[in-house]
Structure 1
Amino acid sequence: MLNCHVGTFVADISPPLGHPLCGGGIEPVRGQDDPLEAVGIVLLGCGAPVVLCALDWCEIRNDAYLKWRQVLAEAAHTTIERVHVHAVHQHNAPIADIEAEKIIQINNASPSLDLKYFDQCLLKTAEALKACLAKTKKINRVGTGYGNVNKVASNRRILDSDGKVKYTRTSATKSKEIRDFPEGLIDPILRTLSFWMGEKPVVAIHYYATHPMSYYGDGMVSSDFCGLARRKRQADSPSVFQMYFTGCAGNITAGKYNDGSKENRAILRDRIYLGMTDAWKVTYTSPITKMEVRVEQVKLGKRNEKEFSLEENLKLVADSKETKVKRNIAALKLAWLQRREQTVNISCLDLGVASILNLPGEAFVEYQLAAQEMRPDLFVCVASYGDGGPGYIPTDKAFVEGGYEPTGAFAPPNEGLLISTISKLLGPKAPQITIPFKRFKKKNK
């Protein structure tokens, strides 16, 4: 058994009035329903420190993602490979891409990110992390629990009889006809991984795959229903630090169960919250036997179609007659194209009986389900929305099916490469571990 320590930190990273939201594609900030936060932990005493951090932002792309990890690594006295940062992906929230914003400024397009505000968020979060190092708590056990979430997630890609996308079921789907299609392929399970000291819980980290928006575009900043569920759970149990990560939700929304009515935010919040409490009721703990970080660099490459070319997007971002949305998306494409070889990190935190897989972009739910199938002997949690540079990460067949998501995928089909990398990181099924996570010896609920 390992005896480790954990520190917890929170920083307010809410954007100021007038700041662009969702990269400038929707109404800018005109108020705040609730704050956006950077929520994280530092694991100490089991090798170099490990940082897990969730940001209530829409996306963190390219050099902005790298800078977050560099700054938090320095604050935690660790290496960048051991820092795992993810966006929760709310849409009444900023998109951060430093290089894209510089391209926008050069071309006198509409701003997407206030770079001073970005640096202030880094500073506040780093200071919060540094402060927590003086008040860490001992941990020696890891807990695993899961709960079914009902009537939240649904697949947004609805196919016709020819196997092509006919409808896209957005987060707020007004059409009853589209809402009434079957739920489709989802992962209905919310997984809660926790750290304990003996019988005392210290930290609970929740993972669930859905776009986390009930409604947006009104300029009112909010962590939306997943962030609100986390806060409600925190209020229940002030002594247990709560975190939430969005899983592989590139093709998953609440659209079947949400028409965008404002009252649905609280309804969806409570359904996620119930999944959290159900997972906690069946949590089992085991000794922490290892804390190993494995990282693979993957070259995703660039697409060859004209609309993804350097020339086309340089022309588009410079065209003052084009819409600000098109110009800003062109800047995001250019930021990806200008990256060296378009490589991204995929990582795994191995805790013995449980593993946390950290993925880039807006990965499709199929990758999450595949990871869990690879290691049925482990409790596998998946966080997507790490490095947002590549945009959507669909399956290969999704590019053939069409629909919205492949138009926002800046890298070509890479399913085989990603699946083999995930398999390598998770490792082969361990023959000495034969019981499923749900049968581990029960400890406190």
Structure 2
Amino acid sequence: MTRRACFGLASMALLRRQGRVRAAAFISDATPPAGQPNIWVEPVREVLDPLLCKGIVLETEGRRIVLAALDWCGIGGFTFDRICSALAHATATSRRNVWVHTVHQHAAPYIVEDAYPLLLKSRPQALRMSARYLGVLAEKIAWAAASAMDNMKPVERVGVSAARVDRVASARRLLVEGRIVTRFSSTVRTPELADLPEGGIDPELRCITLEGAGGPIACLMFYATHPQTFCCDGRVSSDFVGAAREAVQKEAGCPVLYFTGCAGDVTVGKYNQGREDQRRELAARLADGMRRAIARAAFEDAPDLAWQTLPLRLEARRDARPITPAMTDAEAYRAAIGLAFAQRSRTLGVCALRLGQAWMLCLPGEPLLAFQREAQRAASGRFACAAGYGDIFPGYLCRDEDYRLGGYEPGASNVMPGSEEKIRNAIQQLAAIS
């Protein structure tokens, strides 16, 4: 790596420790109550199963890293910072040492408070999540993390493993007769798309197992697909991924955390037409992959730990849609998010954790699968796991080629073409110094 490529070292938060690593997992309920919005502005009508925030605190030589996976569709901007800051305060660590992931189920809230002033001005009747509830939620998650620190355990070994998942993921962007066709998470209205091949996916579920002297402390699972079988009808659910995760946790003897990979262009559309039996089958097939991954863990003794964060500045698109009278309230909210992102001055962040032979990349937005493959290449033979869906504010993170080809994802992105090079450079730089 050249000196120019290393320019970020001066401003990068870098934590590298060779001492004993300790860890504790935590869990908190994150189910929105009646009267609050679920996805977009749709009010909560029925809770099918609870939404959870599951996380882990890692400590070495008095320094702490906090990772959390929240069963929400997305949190961005101030909302993302609110929860990260609460966790940092509760665990006595730097805000830069905290990363919150949203699993991205679509039967769950999508909250970017930065957009609310614009939404209030244009659509005062649109349902917005209360700041009071968000504050209570952040404190509840933070309290769970702080309480877990009373039970920190030495990590004796770290295991890595992978298993192929059968008939779950399928490509969303399909090239049909020279044009991009979108296969969404359900093909109930487009059954002909279910007959097309799976397309470009990463079929492997990856697992990092932290083990103490008394057994496993936590299992971290990574798989790239939109975790969505239904959406936008007021029902709250962690969907098939939550069902799979909780079923496996009952057998694993430790908390199981699930992170959605770079799944911006990957769905379950080939295998889902919205039926309950299909949802159960998807959960069963994903759970089978989780079980096989846990069983295959190859362990390494006495892991060391490294954590890096790198600022990422992406240019907001100049053609952000204005809010118009013809829009629904949900469309107006999505437009307000794009307009608010264009006014944002703070940079985004990219993070990486190395724990022994495992290397975990943490990205903002909804990154397309190409960035997961970039992480695997950049990891240079290490066991690479990628997770998107940190700060959701930028929306889809696409390749420049995707803007030229068109389709849903680049049209729903809040950033300009040219972002690809910056994201790839950040991934490569983080991999080079881990």
The aligned counterpart of 1:9 is 26
Corresponding residue for residue 75 of structure 2: 60
* 1:19 correspondence with 2:15: no
Structure 1 position 157 matched with structure 2 position 161: no
Structure 2 residue aligned with 1:232: 247
Offset of 1:320 from its aligned partner? Answer: 4.9
Give the Cα–Cα distance (whole angstroms) in 2 for the partners of residues 321 and 234 of structure 1: 46
Distance in 1 of aligned mates of 2:328 and 2:229: 26
Bigger drift between 93-102 and 398-407 goes to 93-102
Match of 2:351 in 1: 347
The equivalent of 1:424 in structure 2 is 429
Q: Which residue of 1 aligns with 2:12?
A: none
Which residue of 2 is the match for residue 128 of structure 1? 144
Superposed displacement of residue 12, structure 1: 0.8
Distance 1:206 1:196, change over 3 A: same
The answer to whether residue 142 in structure 2 is matched with residue 137 in structure 1 is no
Aligned twin of 2:3? none
Whether the 8 Å contact between 1:215 and 1:265 is mirrored in structure 2 is no
Partner of 2:338: 333
Secondary structure, in 3 states, of the residue corresponding to 1:170?
A: coil
Q: CA deviation at 1:326?
A: 2.4
CA offset at residue 244 of structure 1?
0.4
Which of 108, 111, 115 does residue 131 from structure 2 map onto?
Answer: 115
Take 2:327 and 2:394, find their aligned partners in 1: how far apart are those partners?
A: 23
CA distance in 1, matches of 2:116, 2:29: 22
Q: Determine the structure 1 residue equivalent to 2:411.
A: 407
Q: Per-residue deviation at 1:93?
A: 0.6
Which one-letter code corresponds to 1:39 in the other structure? K
In structure 2, do the counterparts of structure 1 residues 269 and 114 end up closer, same or farther at CA, with 3 Å as the change threshold?
same
Give the distance between the partners of 1:399 and 1:378, measured in 2 at CA: 32
8 Å CA contact retained: 1:86, 1:386: yes
- Is structure 2 residue 385 aligned with structure 1 residue 381? yes
CA contact (8 A) 1:348 1:356 kept: yes
For residue 109 of structure 1, report the CA deviation from its aligned partner: 4.6
Tell me if structure 1 keeps the 8 A contact 2:365–2:393. yes
Is the Cα contact below 8 Å between 1:34 and 1:222 reproduced in 2?
yes
One of 350, 360, 363 as aligned partner of 2:364: 360
**1:168-217 deviations in whole A, cap 9, x for unaligned?**
11111122211111111111000000111257221101000000012233
- Code of the residue aligned with 1:250 in structure 2: it is G
Q: SS state of the match for residue 44, structure 2?
A: coil
Unaligned runs of 5+ in 2: 1-17
Match 1:96 to one of 91, 106, 111: 111
Post-superposition Cα deviations, 1:251-286, rounded to whole Å, max 9, x if no partner, equal 000001111112111111111101101101110110
What's the counterpart of residue 262 of structure 1? 276
- Greater mean alpha carbon deviation, residues 379-388 or residues 321-330: 321-330
Rate the CA distance shift 1:402–1:247 in 2: closer, same or farther, 3 A: same
> Helix, strand or coil for the counterpart of 1:49?
strand
Look up the SS of the partner of 1:23 in the other structure: coil
Give 1:297's match in structure 2, choosing from 284, 299, 311.
Answer: 311
Which residue in 1 is equivalent to 2:264? 250
The answer to whether structure 1 residue 220 and structure 2 residue 235 are counterparts is yes
Letter in 2 for 1:277: R
What's the RMSD between the two structures over aligned residues?
1.7
Q: How many residues align?
A: 414
Question: Quick one: distance in 2 between partners of 1:46 and 1:111?
Answer: 46
Structure 1 letter corresponding to 2:32: P
8 A Cα contact 1:226 1:269, kept in partner: yes
Q: What are the superposed Cα offsets for residues 41-100 of structure 1, whole Å, 9 maximum, x if unpaired?
A: 101134510101000000011111111111101111101111011100011111121111
Structure 1: gaps spanning 5 or more residues: 431-445
Aligned to 1:186: 201
Contact 1:95–1:113 (8 Å) recurs in 2:
no
Q: Which residue, 205, 209, 216 being the options, matches 2:224? A: 209
- Matched to 1:272, the amino acid is L
TM superposition shift of 1:425: 0.2
Q: Are the counterparts in 2 of residues 23 and 113 from structure 1 also a CA contact under 8 Å?
A: no
Task: Determine the structure 2 residue equivalent to 1:285.
Answer: 299
Match of 2:44 among 10, 19, 29: 29
In structure 1, C-alpha distance between the alignment counterparts of 2:209 and 2:281, rounded to whole Å: 26
Contact 1:395 1:415 in 2 (8 A): yes
